[in-house]
A and B are shown apart, each in its own frame.
Chain A
Amino acid sequence: MSETFHEFVVQRSPALSRTAYLLTGDHQHAEDLLQSALARTYRHWRRIRDGDPEAYVRRVMYHQQVSWWRRRRVAERLDATPVERGGGDHTENTALRLSVVAALRRLTARQRAVVVLRYYEDLTETQVAEVLGCSVGTVKRHGHDAVRRLRDLVPDLWERTPERSGR
């Protein structure tokens, strides 16, 4: 049975907000991204409500984020200097989390999308390629570049438990 747009937003906005935040690394940008994706979803609600509207919103967010990144990338910093280790009063895990979030901001939008889809949404490379509308080879390349970059930016991720990606 199809739900209303309002019901959908109420039920799914927490999860969608988390994805938006990981994609942007910034609450303000994440809010804008989710708002934009939901606005587009609302316009096409009659068509998509009986399908998988959440997948639609996520797809819109991924593409929107890549599109925004292309417009903003001149201003972005893509240097490989390790991010400052989250420290102070935080626990070790909290420090690592903050470092990962900071490192994600240093990735390109597509790299970030691949990382979020692969390691947060737990999609296969084939599913990621479908969501992003690109080839599996492109996903592999962006994933490889992203991991290599994260390794440079957050060495702690590897120093503790070195392991290989399963796929």
Chain B
Amino acid sequence: MSVRLREALREAAAEVPAYPVHERAVRTARRTRRRMAAAVAAVLVLVALVPVAVRGDGPRGIAPAGAGGPALPDRIGLPGFGALHATDRPRLGPASVVFSGQARGLTGLIDEDGTVGIVAADADRYRTWTVGHEAPAGEQVLLSPDGRRIAVPAGTSEHPRVDLVDLVGGTVRRLPSPRSGSTLTEPAGWAPDGGALVVRDTTPANPEGSAYVNTLSLVRLDTGRAVRLLETDQVPVFGTPVAFTADGSRLAYQVGDKVLVAGTDGQSITSFPLPPESGLAGKGAWLPDGSLALVSRDPDTTRWRLRRVDPASGRDLGVLALPAVDGVTTIRLLGWWPDGSALVVGYRPDPDSPERFDRPVDMDQRTVYPNVQTVRVLGLTPGAAAPNTLLTAPDQVLAIDVADAVVRAGRVRAADPPFGLGGRFWWAAGVVALVLGGLLARRLLRRGRALGVTRGHAPRG
């Protein structure tokens, strides 16, 4: 059977002509290739654009502007790898909190790059800003009272400046040092209306640079005019913190173991010495009754309290009827909530620190990064037995500042910090996808042309 079947098949095949399908096959192949290239390009464009649209602002997207108003997040997270910068689109808008430290995402891969995390006023939208060196939030990186700008140290030792980063407009205003010869300019305090900034300068006192002077100036942001408040030989604590009265007419600041009160015209009003183991409480140090708040430590403990002093004489007016904060290196007063609670930052000690914080330690050393493990924002409510934890942060978030607008709003919101990769990563991934897609398309086109050329030179049979 197989022999006859073979014969029959060969006979049947023998009369089959060669089908003239070459040209049609090539046209079909090219059409298919074009369609595939178009499909691949479409997919790549989608890959490039969808993450930008969906993930460009983090997994949660953009909350409606002003939804719910400013509020303190009850916890903060760390900026994701490739997080959007403060001036990136979409704009962040007013912020509630800035924070810094040595946690992942707040430092460089190899050395300290002083990245600051920024949280929006009304939602868990995060941005970052890189200072380039260690710059604690609340001390050298300051959030404006309305939360719309951050003031950060910038420039070089030859041309130091303060950058005002507009979180709403996405612009950066460069504020040159008001002190000629200065090698370092840092922001020290915002005026309540945001119209002026106190800056702290460090200037070599001699050509050899063996001694320095510190200068505190009040710079009007509308005119750029600077009023010198004080200049002294360099001291460990200089112009930190700075506290404005609510009307912005006076300001108190600490220099060494003294508190000085001055008018915004630079005229000194009064000064008084600080008791041992105490300091000016913070940017919220002015009380509604016109007295000043100090932070002080109970002897031989790590328990800190707020107490009142007369700004004219420095006379102690007693401790405030607020719960003490125990187990911290120190506290810093951010302001006062509408219900009369004091909002303070508590610095939890690093267990590996060689310092004993129940013993006398210089105030400036109590908040340096190596001595701190993390920070908390606490509410000290009159009559309460213990502080109320309002905001928690991951370990190695070592400094924080809260906008005055958030303090005045007196609200805490349940936060759900974003995690994973940040918007810049997805932008970069989209760009890489587009580039790869372009290279692939070019390769396909070149291959198509090469085949066409080859066919064109081939002998036709």
- Residues of A with Cβ closer than 8 Å to B? 4-7, 9-11, 13-14, 17-22, 27, 30-31, 34-36, 38-43, 45-46, 93-94, 96-101, 115-116, 119-120, 122, 147, 150-151, 157-158, 160-166
- Say yes or no: A4 contacts B29, CB within 8 Å: no
Contacts of A98 in B (CB 8 A): 12
Across the A-B interface, give the 7 residue pairs with the lowest CB-CB distance, nearest first.
A10-B461, A38-B25, A18-B13, A6-B458, A39-B28, A42-B29, A4-B458
Q: Are A21 and B16 in contact (CB under 8 A)?
A: yes
**Which residues in window 1-45 of B have CB below 8 A to A?**
1-14, 16-19, 21-22, 24-26, 28-29, 32-33
Interface centre among B12, B17, B33, by most chain A C-beta atoms within 10 angstroms, is: B12
B18→A14 contact, CB < 8 A = yes
Complex Cα gap A93–B3 (Å): 13
Flag whether B449 is at the interface (Cβ < 8 A).
no
Whether A38 contacts B22 in the complex (CB less than 8 A), given A18-B13, A43-B29, A119-B9, comes out as: yes
**Cβ-defined contact, B9 with A100, below 8 A:** yes
B19 & A22 in contact (Cβ 8 Å cutoff): no
For the residues of B in contact with A, the DSSP-based class is helix
Beta-carbon contact of B19 and A31 below 8 Å: yes
Which residue of the partner chain A has the closest CB to B22? A9
- In this complex, how many residues of chain B approach chain A with their Cβ under 8 Å: the count is 36
Q: How far is the CB of B136 from chain A (nearest CB, A)?
A: 60
Q: Which of B13, B21, B22, B454: most chain A Cβ within 10 A?
A: B21
Chain B residues whose CB sits within 8 angstroms of the CB of A27 once the complex forms = 16, 19
* Contact A31:B21 (CB < 8 A) given known A43-B33, A163-B3: yes
Find out whether the CB atom of B1 lies under 8 angstroms from the CB atom of A17: no
Q: Given A6-B458, A17-B16, A34-B19, do A42 and B2 touch, yes or no (CB 8 Å)?
A: no
Residues of A close to B458: CB separation below 8 A? 4-7
Question: Of residues B6, B22, B25, which shows the largest number of chain A Cβ atoms within 10 Å of its Cβ?
Answer: B25
Of A7, A94, A151, the most chain B CB neighbours within 10 A belong to A7
Q: Could you tell me the distance in whole angstroms from the C-beta of B257 to the nearest C-beta in chain A?
A: 81
Q: Is the interface of A mostly helix, strand, loop or mixed?
A: helix
A51 to chain B, nearest CB (A): 17
Give the distance to chain B from A103, nearest Cβ to Cβ, in Å. 9
Tell me which of A13, A38, A39, A116 contacts B9 (CB under 8 A): A116
A160 touching B4, Cβ below 8 Å: yes
A43 and B32 within 8 A (CB): yes
Chain A residues positioned under 8 Å from B25 (CB to CB): 9, 34-36, 38-39, 41-42
The chain B residue sitting closest to A13, CB to CB, is B18
| Closest A residue by C-beta to B30 | A42
Count chain B CB atoms within 10 A of each CB in A27, A39, A46, A93 and give the residue with the most: A39
* A119–B5 CB distance below 8 A: yes
Give the residues in chain B near A97, CB-CB below 8 Å.
Answer: 8, 11-12
Residues of B contacting A150 with CB < 8 Å? Answer: 5
User: What residues of A have a CB within 8 angstroms of the CB of B16 in the complex?
Assistant: 17-18, 21, 27, 30
B133 within 8 A of A: no
Smallest Cβ-Cβ distance to A156: which chain B residue? B4
Q: Do B8 and A35 touch (CB < 8 A)?
A: no
Task: Kindly provide the distance from the CB of B127 to the nearest chain A CB, expressed in whole angstroms.
Answer: 48
Point out the residue from B10, B19, B32, B461 that lies within 8 Å of A20, measured CB to CB: B19
- Give Cα distance in the complex from A20 to B17, angstroms: 11
16 residue pairs bridging A and B, Cβ less than 8 Å apart? A10-B459, A10-B461, A11-B461, A13-B21, A18-B13, A20-B19, A31-B21, A35-B21, A39-B28, A93-B7, A97-B11, A116-B9, A120-B10, A157-B4, A162-B1, A166-B2
